[in-house]
Structure 1
Amino acid sequence: MYKQFCLLVLILFIVLPVRSFGQQVALKTNLLFWGTTSPNAGLEIGLGQKFTVDIWGAYNAWKFPNNMRLNFYLAQPEIRYWFCRKFEGHFIGVHGHYAHFNIGQIPFIPNLEKHELRGELYGGGITYGYHWAIGRRWGLEAMLGGGFAYMKYTKYKCEECAEAVGAYTRNYFGPTRIGISVIYFLR
Protein backbone atom coordinates (compact mmCIF):
# COMPACT_ATOMS: atom_id res chain seq x y z
CA MET A 1 0.00 0.00 0.00
CA TYR A 2 2.87 2.39 0.80
CA LYS A 3 4.49 1.67 -2.59
CA GLN A 4 1.21 2.41 -4.41
CA PHE A 5 0.88 5.72 -2.52
CA CYS A 6 4.43 6.75 -3.49
CA LEU A 7 3.69 5.85 -7.11
CA LEU A 8 0.52 7.98 -6.99
CA VAL A 9 2.50 10.96 -5.65
CA LEU A 10 5.07 10.53 -8.46
CA ILE A 11 2.32 10.38 -11.12
CA LEU A 12 0.69 13.51 -9.74
CA PHE A 13 4.05 15.32 -9.96
CA ILE A 14 4.26 14.40 -13.64
CA VAL A 15 0.61 14.86 -14.65
CA LEU A 16 -0.53 17.94 -12.73
CA PRO A 17 0.60 21.23 -14.25
CA VAL A 18 3.10 23.00 -12.03
CA ARG A 19 2.72 26.74 -12.56
CA SER A 20 4.03 29.62 -10.54
CA PHE A 21 1.29 31.05 -8.28
CA GLY A 22 3.07 32.67 -5.35
CA GLN A 23 4.69 30.45 -2.75
CA GLN A 24 5.76 27.07 -4.12
CA VAL A 25 7.94 25.47 -1.42
CA ALA A 26 7.72 25.48 2.39
CA LEU A 27 9.85 23.92 5.13
CA LYS A 28 8.06 22.85 8.32
CA THR A 29 8.39 21.18 11.69
CA ASN A 30 5.66 19.74 13.94
CA LEU A 31 5.87 21.21 17.45
CA LEU A 32 3.85 18.36 18.99
CA PHE A 33 6.48 15.82 17.93
CA TRP A 34 9.22 17.96 19.47
CA GLY A 35 7.24 17.56 22.70
CA THR A 36 8.05 13.82 22.56
CA THR A 37 11.75 14.62 21.90
CA SER A 38 11.29 13.54 18.27
CA PRO A 39 13.15 15.62 15.68
CA ASN A 40 11.02 16.06 12.57
CA ALA A 41 10.92 18.04 9.34
CA GLY A 42 8.78 18.40 6.27
CA LEU A 43 8.81 19.86 2.80
CA GLU A 44 5.61 21.02 1.12
CA ILE A 45 5.62 21.70 -2.61
CA GLY A 46 2.91 23.59 -4.51
CA LEU A 47 1.25 22.00 -7.53
CA GLY A 48 -0.98 24.44 -9.38
CA GLN A 49 -3.24 26.84 -7.48
CA LYS A 50 -5.02 24.48 -5.07
CA PHE A 51 -2.83 21.40 -4.61
CA THR A 52 0.32 20.69 -2.61
CA VAL A 53 2.35 17.62 -1.75
CA ASP A 54 3.57 17.43 1.85
CA ILE A 55 6.50 15.10 2.56
CA TRP A 56 7.10 14.83 6.29
CA GLY A 57 9.03 12.54 8.60
CA ALA A 58 10.21 12.08 12.19
CA TYR A 59 12.97 10.16 13.93
CA ASN A 60 13.62 9.33 17.57
CA ALA A 61 16.71 7.40 18.70
CA TRP A 62 17.14 8.76 22.22
CA LYS A 63 17.83 6.59 25.23
CA PHE A 64 15.83 7.48 28.31
CA PRO A 65 16.37 6.65 32.01
CA ASN A 66 15.28 3.20 33.23
CA ASN A 67 15.74 1.67 29.73
CA MET A 68 12.57 3.36 28.43
CA ARG A 69 12.49 3.26 24.62
CA LEU A 70 10.58 5.36 22.13
CA ASN A 71 12.71 4.65 19.06
CA PHE A 72 11.15 5.02 15.62
CA TYR A 73 11.36 6.55 12.21
CA LEU A 74 8.18 7.66 10.48
CA ALA A 75 7.28 8.99 7.03
CA GLN A 76 3.88 10.55 6.23
CA PRO A 77 3.51 11.86 2.67
CA GLU A 78 0.27 13.68 1.89
CA ILE A 79 -1.53 15.21 -1.09
CA ARG A 80 -3.52 18.31 -0.08
CA TYR A 81 -6.39 20.22 -1.64
CA TRP A 82 -6.76 23.85 -0.49
CA PHE A 83 -10.25 25.39 -0.57
CA CYS A 84 -9.00 28.92 -1.32
CA ARG A 85 -5.40 28.90 -2.60
CA LYS A 86 -2.47 26.77 -1.56
CA PHE A 87 -0.99 27.69 1.81
CA GLU A 88 -4.10 29.75 2.71
CA GLY A 89 -6.92 28.75 5.04
CA HIS A 90 -8.64 25.35 5.09
CA PHE A 91 -7.34 22.18 3.44
CA ILE A 92 -8.09 18.47 3.26
CA GLY A 93 -5.55 15.81 2.45
CA VAL A 94 -4.99 12.13 1.81
CA HIS A 95 -1.96 10.77 3.65
CA GLY A 96 -0.04 7.54 3.88
CA HIS A 97 2.30 6.46 6.65
CA TYR A 98 5.11 4.03 7.27
CA ALA A 99 7.00 3.56 10.54
CA HIS A 100 9.59 1.23 11.95
CA PHE A 101 9.51 1.16 15.76
CA ASN A 102 11.19 -0.22 18.87
CA ILE A 103 9.25 0.96 21.92
CA GLY A 104 8.95 -0.33 25.45
CA GLN A 105 9.51 -0.15 29.18
CA ILE A 106 7.29 2.94 29.29
CA PRO A 107 6.00 3.08 32.89
CA PHE A 108 2.82 5.07 32.17
CA ILE A 109 1.50 2.81 29.34
CA PRO A 110 -0.11 -0.49 30.42
CA ASN A 111 1.46 -3.63 28.86
CA LEU A 112 4.59 -1.67 27.91
CA GLU A 113 5.99 -1.41 31.43
CA LYS A 114 7.93 -4.69 31.18
CA HIS A 115 7.81 -5.41 27.46
CA GLU A 116 9.24 -4.08 24.24
CA LEU A 117 7.56 -4.01 20.81
CA ARG A 118 9.62 -4.07 17.60
CA GLY A 119 8.00 -3.91 14.20
CA GLU A 120 6.49 -1.90 11.36
CA LEU A 121 3.35 0.09 10.70
CA TYR A 122 1.64 0.85 7.35
CA GLY A 123 -1.53 2.72 6.52
CA GLY A 124 -3.25 5.86 5.39
CA GLY A 125 -6.05 8.29 6.09
CA ILE A 126 -7.68 11.66 5.60
CA THR A 127 -6.55 14.96 7.13
CA TYR A 128 -8.27 18.29 7.79
CA GLY A 129 -6.25 21.38 8.63
CA TYR A 130 -5.96 25.14 8.63
CA HIS A 131 -3.03 27.42 7.79
CA TRP A 132 -2.48 30.91 9.23
CA ALA A 133 -0.07 33.28 7.47
CA ILE A 134 2.35 35.07 9.80
CA GLY A 135 4.10 37.58 7.59
CA ARG A 136 5.47 36.90 4.11
CA ARG A 137 7.75 33.98 4.95
CA TRP A 138 6.20 32.37 8.05
CA GLY A 139 3.06 30.40 8.78
CA LEU A 140 1.39 28.27 11.41
CA GLU A 141 -0.65 25.16 10.65
CA ALA A 142 -2.95 22.94 12.71
CA MET A 143 -4.16 19.56 11.45
CA LEU A 144 -5.90 16.40 12.54
CA GLY A 145 -6.21 13.19 10.57
CA GLY A 146 -7.86 9.83 10.96
CA GLY A 147 -7.53 6.55 9.15
CA PHE A 148 -6.15 3.04 9.23
CA ALA A 149 -2.87 1.47 10.35
CA TYR A 150 -1.70 -2.13 10.03
CA MET A 151 0.95 -3.09 12.58
CA LYS A 152 3.18 -6.15 12.51
CA TYR A 153 5.49 -6.55 15.50
CA THR A 154 7.27 -8.90 17.87
CA LYS A 155 6.80 -8.56 21.62
CA TYR A 156 9.84 -9.09 23.84
CA LYS A 157 10.15 -9.66 27.56
CA CYS A 158 12.44 -6.86 28.65
CA GLU A 159 14.34 -8.15 31.62
CA GLU A 160 16.84 -9.42 29.03
CA CYS A 161 15.16 -7.91 25.92
CA ALA A 162 16.02 -10.99 23.88
CA GLU A 163 13.23 -13.41 24.83
CA ALA A 164 10.42 -13.14 22.28
CA VAL A 165 6.95 -13.55 23.79
CA GLY A 166 5.18 -13.70 20.43
CA ALA A 167 4.60 -12.19 16.99
CA TYR A 168 1.45 -10.12 16.46
CA THR A 169 -0.50 -8.17 13.87
CA ARG A 170 -3.01 -5.45 14.67
CA ASN A 171 -5.44 -3.34 12.67
CA TYR A 172 -6.13 0.13 13.99
CA PHE A 173 -8.80 2.68 13.05
CA GLY A 174 -8.63 6.12 14.65
CA PRO A 175 -6.44 9.22 14.79
CA THR A 176 -3.38 8.81 12.55
CA ARG A 177 -2.08 12.36 12.23
CA ILE A 178 -1.96 15.42 14.48
CA GLY A 179 0.12 18.52 14.30
CA ILE A 180 0.79 22.13 15.05
CA SER A 181 3.52 23.13 12.65
CA VAL A 182 5.71 26.17 12.15
CA ILE A 183 6.30 26.85 8.47
CA TYR A 184 8.97 28.82 6.61
CA PHE A 185 8.49 29.64 2.91
CA LEU A 186 11.42 29.47 0.51
CA ARG A 187 11.63 31.93 -2.37
Structure 2
Amino acid sequence: MILRHIYSHMRYLKRTFFIFILCISLSAHTQAQKTIAVKTNIPYWATASPNLGVEVAFRHKMTFELSGGYNPFEFGNDKQWKHWIIWPEARYWLNETFNGHSIGLHGVFAGFDVGGLELPFNLVPELKNRRVEGNINGIGLSYGYAWIIGNSLLLEVSAGAGYGRLKYDVFTNGDNGYKTDYGQKHYIGPTKGAISLVYLF
Protein backbone atom coordinates (compact mmCIF):
# COMPACT_ATOMS: atom_id res chain seq x y z
CA MET A 1 0.00 0.00 0.00
CA ILE A 2 2.91 2.32 0.59
CA LEU A 3 3.59 2.19 -3.15
CA ARG A 4 0.29 3.98 -3.72
CA HIS A 5 1.48 6.89 -1.61
CA ILE A 6 4.81 7.00 -3.43
CA TYR A 7 2.93 7.21 -6.72
CA SER A 8 0.60 9.94 -5.43
CA HIS A 9 3.60 12.08 -4.46
CA MET A 10 5.49 11.76 -7.74
CA ARG A 11 4.78 15.40 -8.55
CA TYR A 12 6.67 16.43 -5.40
CA LEU A 13 9.55 14.11 -6.24
CA LYS A 14 9.77 15.40 -9.80
CA ARG A 15 9.90 18.99 -8.53
CA THR A 16 12.59 18.10 -6.00
CA PHE A 17 14.77 16.33 -8.56
CA PHE A 18 14.31 19.23 -11.00
CA ILE A 19 15.64 21.66 -8.38
CA PHE A 20 18.54 19.30 -7.66
CA ILE A 21 19.50 19.05 -11.34
CA LEU A 22 19.15 22.83 -11.72
CA CYS A 23 21.56 23.39 -8.83
CA ILE A 24 24.08 21.01 -10.37
CA SER A 25 23.78 22.87 -13.67
CA LEU A 26 24.33 26.18 -11.95
CA SER A 27 27.42 24.83 -10.26
CA ALA A 28 28.98 24.22 -13.64
CA HIS A 29 28.71 27.92 -14.53
CA THR A 30 29.95 29.56 -11.37
CA GLN A 31 33.37 30.34 -9.94
CA ALA A 32 32.34 29.06 -6.51
CA GLN A 33 33.90 25.96 -5.00
CA LYS A 34 32.77 22.97 -7.06
CA THR A 35 32.51 20.31 -4.36
CA ILE A 36 30.16 17.38 -3.98
CA ALA A 37 29.52 15.67 -0.66
CA VAL A 38 27.99 12.24 -0.05
CA LYS A 39 26.65 11.59 3.43
CA THR A 40 24.72 9.17 5.60
CA ASN A 41 22.82 9.78 8.84
CA ILE A 42 24.35 7.41 11.41
CA PRO A 43 21.49 7.26 14.01
CA TYR A 44 18.95 6.70 11.22
CA TRP A 45 20.58 3.31 10.56
CA ALA A 46 19.55 2.31 14.11
CA THR A 47 15.94 2.23 12.86
CA ALA A 48 16.99 -0.27 10.14
CA SER A 49 16.54 2.49 7.56
CA PRO A 50 19.11 2.71 4.75
CA ASN A 51 19.74 6.38 3.92
CA LEU A 52 21.92 8.54 1.71
CA GLY A 53 22.36 12.20 0.88
CA VAL A 54 24.14 14.22 -1.81
CA GLU A 55 25.08 17.88 -1.38
CA VAL A 56 26.41 20.19 -4.09
CA ALA A 57 28.10 23.59 -3.75
CA PHE A 58 26.60 25.86 -6.41
CA ARG A 59 27.33 29.46 -5.32
CA HIS A 60 29.59 31.26 -2.88
CA LYS A 61 28.83 29.72 0.55
CA MET A 62 25.68 28.06 -0.82
CA THR A 63 24.89 24.36 -1.16
CA PHE A 64 21.90 22.25 -2.10
CA GLU A 65 21.30 18.90 -0.43
CA LEU A 66 18.98 16.06 -1.34
CA SER A 67 18.81 13.27 1.22
CA GLY A 68 16.39 10.50 2.02
CA GLY A 69 15.78 7.12 3.56
CA TYR A 70 13.63 4.04 3.05
CA ASN A 71 12.48 1.26 5.35
CA PRO A 72 10.52 -1.67 3.82
CA PHE A 73 10.74 -4.00 6.83
CA GLU A 74 8.25 -5.71 9.14
CA PHE A 75 9.28 -6.81 12.63
CA GLY A 76 6.60 -9.38 13.53
CA ASN A 77 3.72 -9.19 16.04
CA ASP A 78 1.99 -6.74 13.69
CA LYS A 79 4.79 -4.21 14.22
CA GLN A 80 6.19 -2.40 11.22
CA TRP A 81 7.96 0.87 10.46
CA LYS A 82 7.68 1.01 6.68
CA HIS A 83 8.33 4.46 5.31
CA TRP A 84 10.16 6.62 2.83
CA ILE A 85 11.30 10.21 3.35
CA ILE A 86 13.02 12.90 1.27
CA TRP A 87 14.59 16.14 2.52
CA PRO A 88 15.58 18.73 -0.09
CA GLU A 89 17.48 21.62 1.50
CA ALA A 90 19.19 24.87 0.48
CA ARG A 91 21.96 25.86 2.92
CA TYR A 92 24.09 28.93 3.55
CA TRP A 93 27.47 28.43 5.23
CA LEU A 94 28.67 31.24 7.49
CA ASN A 95 32.38 30.49 7.03
CA GLU A 96 32.97 28.35 3.95
CA THR A 97 31.08 25.50 2.32
CA PHE A 98 31.23 22.22 4.23
CA ASN A 99 33.01 23.75 7.22
CA GLY A 100 31.58 25.27 10.40
CA HIS A 101 28.12 26.76 10.88
CA SER A 102 25.27 26.60 8.37
CA ILE A 103 21.62 27.61 8.23
CA GLY A 104 19.09 26.11 5.85
CA LEU A 105 15.58 25.95 4.48
CA HIS A 106 14.34 22.41 3.94
CA GLY A 107 11.28 20.52 2.76
CA VAL A 108 9.93 17.23 4.08
CA PHE A 109 8.08 14.73 1.89
CA ALA A 110 7.30 11.35 3.42
CA GLY A 111 4.97 8.38 3.29
CA PHE A 112 4.49 5.72 5.95
CA ASP A 113 2.76 2.41 6.65
CA VAL A 114 3.30 1.84 10.36
CA GLY A 115 1.66 -0.44 12.90
CA GLY A 116 1.91 -1.44 16.55
CA LEU A 117 4.29 1.40 17.46
CA GLU A 118 4.22 4.88 18.95
CA LEU A 119 5.37 7.80 16.80
CA PRO A 120 7.49 10.52 18.42
CA PHE A 121 5.61 13.55 19.79
CA ASN A 122 2.38 11.49 19.83
CA LEU A 123 1.77 12.41 16.18
CA VAL A 124 -0.78 9.63 15.62
CA PRO A 125 -2.03 8.22 18.95
CA GLU A 126 -4.16 5.62 17.14
CA LEU A 127 -0.99 3.90 15.98
CA LYS A 128 -0.24 1.92 19.14
CA ASN A 129 -2.93 -0.72 18.53
CA ARG A 130 -3.62 -0.05 14.86
CA ARG A 131 -1.91 0.20 11.50
CA VAL A 132 -1.70 3.71 10.10
CA GLU A 133 -0.94 4.58 6.49
CA GLY A 134 -0.43 8.13 5.28
CA ASN A 135 1.91 10.94 4.36
CA ILE A 136 3.35 14.18 5.65
CA ASN A 137 4.55 17.20 3.70
CA GLY A 138 6.20 20.17 5.33
CA ILE A 139 8.83 22.87 5.46
CA GLY A 140 11.30 23.99 8.09
CA LEU A 141 14.43 25.91 9.08
CA SER A 142 17.59 24.14 10.15
CA TYR A 143 20.98 24.71 11.74
CA GLY A 144 24.08 22.60 11.24
CA TYR A 145 27.74 22.41 12.09
CA ALA A 146 30.46 20.44 10.28
CA TRP A 147 33.89 19.37 11.59
CA ILE A 148 36.79 18.22 9.42
CA ILE A 149 37.92 14.91 10.96
CA GLY A 150 40.15 13.55 8.21
CA ASN A 151 41.22 13.82 4.62
CA SER A 152 37.95 14.59 2.77
CA LEU A 153 36.00 13.28 5.77
CA LEU A 154 33.59 15.34 7.88
CA LEU A 155 31.29 14.85 10.84
CA GLU A 156 28.13 16.96 10.64
CA VAL A 157 25.35 17.59 13.13
CA SER A 158 22.10 19.24 12.02
CA ALA A 159 18.62 19.83 13.40
CA GLY A 160 15.52 21.56 12.09
CA ALA A 161 11.98 22.51 13.01
CA GLY A 162 8.97 23.73 11.10
CA TYR A 163 5.47 22.95 9.92
CA GLY A 164 3.98 19.80 8.43
CA ARG A 165 0.57 18.63 7.23
CA LEU A 166 -0.20 15.03 8.10
CA LYS A 167 -2.91 12.92 6.43
CA TYR A 168 -3.55 9.28 7.31
CA ASP A 169 -5.95 6.33 7.26
CA VAL A 170 -6.35 3.99 10.25
CA PHE A 171 -6.70 0.21 9.84
CA THR A 172 -6.98 -2.74 12.18
CA ASN A 173 -3.61 -4.41 12.76
CA GLY A 174 -2.10 -6.56 10.05
CA ASP A 175 -1.63 -6.24 6.30
CA ASN A 176 -5.21 -7.41 5.66
CA GLY A 177 -6.82 -5.11 8.23
CA TYR A 178 -9.87 -3.06 7.37
CA LYS A 179 -10.16 0.72 7.48
CA THR A 180 -11.69 2.09 10.66
CA ASP A 181 -10.93 5.80 10.59
CA TYR A 182 -8.99 8.61 8.93
CA GLY A 183 -7.53 11.88 10.03
CA GLN A 184 -5.35 14.88 9.30
CA LYS A 185 -3.25 17.10 11.52
CA HIS A 186 -1.27 20.30 11.40
CA TYR A 187 2.09 19.72 13.00
CA ILE A 188 4.64 22.21 14.38
CA GLY A 189 7.86 20.82 15.80
CA PRO A 190 11.08 19.00 14.79
CA THR A 191 11.25 18.22 11.08
CA LYS A 192 14.86 17.10 10.69
CA GLY A 193 17.75 15.74 12.75
CA ALA A 194 21.00 14.07 11.77
CA ILE A 195 24.49 13.11 12.87
CA SER A 196 26.11 12.46 9.51
CA LEU A 197 29.34 11.05 8.25
CA VAL A 198 30.29 13.03 5.14
CA TYR A 199 32.78 12.36 2.36
CA LEU A 200 33.88 15.18 0.04
CA PHE A 201 34.74 14.73 -3.64
The TM-score, its normalising length taken from structure 2, stands at: 0.82
Contact 2:90/2:106 (<8 A) preserved: yes
Cα offsets for 1:20-42 (capped at 9, x unmatched): 52x61010000121111111000
Contact 1:18/1:46 (<8 A) preserved: no
Contact 1:9/1:79 (<8 A) preserved: no
Contact 1:99/1:121 (<8 A) preserved: yes
Q: d(CA) in 2 for partners of 1:27 and 1:160?
A: 35
Count residues with an aligned counterpart: 185
Q: Indicate the structure with greater helix content.
A: 2
Alignment equivalent of 1:114, drawn from 111, 120, 129: 129
Match of 1:19 in 2: 31
Alignment equivalent of 2:73, drawn from 56, 62, 67: 62
Q: How does 1:19-38 map to 2 (within 5 A)?
A: 19-21=31-33, 24-38=35-49
Instruction: Give the root-mean-square deviation of aligned CA atoms.
Output: 2.4
Report whether the alignment pairs 1:83 with 2:94. Answer: yes
Q: d(CA) in 1 for partners of 2:189 and 2:155?
A: 25
User: Which moved further from structure 2: 93-102 or 5-14?
Assistant: 5-14
Report sequence identity in percent: 31
Instruction: State the 1:163 CA deviation.
Output: 1.3
Aligned residue type for 2:72: A
Q: How does 1:142-153 map to 2 (within 5 A)?
A: 142-153=157-168
Q: d(CA) in 2 for partners of 1:145 and 1:5?
A: 22
Instruction: State the 1:9 CA deviation.
Output: 5.6
Match of 1:185 in 2: 200
Match of 2:54 in 1: 43
Aligned-partner SS, 1:33: helix
| Runs of 4+ residues deviating >4 angstroms | 1-5, 7-17, 107-110
Aligned-partner SS, 1:158: coil
Aligned-partner SS, 1:111: helix
5+ residue gaps, structure 1, are: none
Aligned-partner SS, 1:113: helix
Match of 1:169 in 2: 184
Contact 2:94/2:102 (<8 A) preserved: yes
Instruction: State the 1:112 CA deviation.
Output: 2.1
Report whether the alignment pairs 1:103 with 2:118. Answer: no
The TM-score, its normalising length taken from structure 1, stands at: 0.88
Instruction: State the 1:107 CA deviation.
Output: 6.8
Instruction: State the 1:134 CA deviation.
Output: 1.3
Contact 2:26/2:58 (<8 A) preserved: no
5+ residue gaps, structure 2, are: 1-10
